[in-house]
Amino acid sequence: DDGGGGGGGGRGGADGGAPINIQTLARGFSSNITTFQVSVVKDAASWQALWAQHGGAGAAPAVDFTVDMVVGFWTGTRTSGGYGAMVTGVTGADAPPGQTGAVVSLEEVRPGANCVVTGALTDPFHIVKTPRADVVTWQVSVRTAGCP
């Protein structure tokens, strides 16, 4: 079983909008990628290069690119703590016949006016793996955290 719901992967066409599984590979507040960036990686060589650019500790997490892809989201450098980057979900999307589609939802969290945060520079990021899709689109939102 390919876990894709049959019929060519279960994404695209009439199955658009169905949630797709994601698994976090890395998430944090320190990266060598210091500008806003979203990435889709579909092969091992590109994944190794992105992991090195990011400055991940150790070897890049294993990914079977015959069935999965990597999605990365970096907010860029922020002037304090309290910021975050999150891949909040992936859903199936319509795609041309014979292809699969996915919409990746991203959220940047910003600290509210009453939040107490560190004065250190941060570089929030979130890297996930998800089933491979031929056509990927992005949906980006910004949320301000409420603090007492």
pTM given for the model: 0.85
Residue-wise pLDDT tens digits, 35-89: 999 999 999 999 999 999 999 889 999 999 999 999 999 999 999 999 999 999 9
25 contacts: CB under 8 Å, gap ≥ 6:
61, 63, 70, 127, 128, 129
Domain layout of the chain by residue ranges: 13-145
Share of the chain above pLDDT 70, in %: 89
**So what's the pLDDT on residue 54?**
97
Angle at 39 between CA 102 and CA 91, to 5 degrees: 15
Reported confidence tier of residue 16, pLDDT bands at 50, 70, 90: low
